[in-house]
Amino acid sequence: MQSVNREEAPARDVLAAAHRIAAHDGLAEGTWNHFSFMLDSRRMLITPADRHWALIDGDSLVLSTDDDDARARGLLFLIGYRIHQPLHDVRPDARCVLHAHPPYATALSLLDEPELIVASQMSIGFAGRIAYNDRYDLIGGAEGQGERIASALGDCDVLLLRGHGVVVVGETIESAYLDLYSLELACRSQVLAMSTGRAVRPMGAIEVAELTGSGPDRAENDEEARRHFQAMRQLVDGPGGQQALSVAR
């Protein structure tokens, strides 16, 4: 077992739980895709490339500090690192970066016009927070991929990648995960509605402005994310999950 300092242990605990919850929620693809969390300006915790997400614990996560270290761990790990590191560099507020291929969000990314329509209750919270990347990068093209993704993300919290799932960023693991989960629900509703062959009716601009303007503030959102995450831990990990540590803000 690797030695972990007291400051690092809570982050490992919560980030590992996010993988197990994602597996339960149907957002994972076995051992592929990657979540990361920056402990500080140099040290990143990131998904290993050799363990099913349902089995990831705190000790499974890799502590990586530079490109040479990532390269030594193999191509799949290097690709993940090179996607995440530039995002953390450009967006220091985004301590957590989640990259996944959820089925409905990925299905939406395949469309000629992949925009998430603000039409459902779940989609309202993403109004003005989603960016779209129209370029598809082959898996072998890791060089520069992270920089292109970071540029496309800009100051948004969500990036829909053409044919390649999504990237979601957040200040905390819990808030980023709730966005990932909520995004998949919003995409599911839209894809199912579109499957009827009838047009999806978007909300009007005034209605969206009123709904988003009267929504909860950042502190309330973070608390809701924490409560949801803890509830899912109890479901996934059993009664002990409610004792989980939360990453210090």
Structural domains of the chain, ranges and CATH numbers in brackets: 8-243 (3.40.225.10)
**How far is it, in rounded angstroms, from Cα 189 to Cα 40?**
37
Instruction: For residue 101, report the phi and psi dihedrals to the nearest 5 degrees.
Output: -120, 60
- 1 has pLDDT over 50: no
Greatest pairwise CA separation for the chain in angstroms: 57
Predicted local confidence at residue 242, as pLDDT: 41
pLDDT of amino acid 120: 93
> Is the pLDDT reported for residue 92 higher than 80?
yes
Residue with tokens 């999950």: 241
pLDDT at 132 over 80: yes
44 to 54, 87, 150, 162, 172: CA distances (angstroms): 21, 12, 17, 26, 14
- Percentage of the residues of the chain whose pLDDT score is greater than 90: 65
Structure tokens at 238: 């059993």
Burial class for 212, CB neighbours closer than 10 Å (0-12, 13-18, 19+): middle
Give me the pLDDT at residue 244, please: 41
Pick 240 or 174 by higher pLDDT. 174
Q: What is the DSSP string of 207-231?
A: HHHHHHHTS--HHHHHHHHHHHHHH
> Helices 8-24 and 218-237: crossing angle, nearest 10°?
70
User: Beta strands 166-170 and 158-161: pairing type?
Assistant: antiparallel
Model confidence band, residue 142 (pLDDT cutoffs 50, 70, 90): low
- pLDDT greater at residue 4 or residue 249: 4
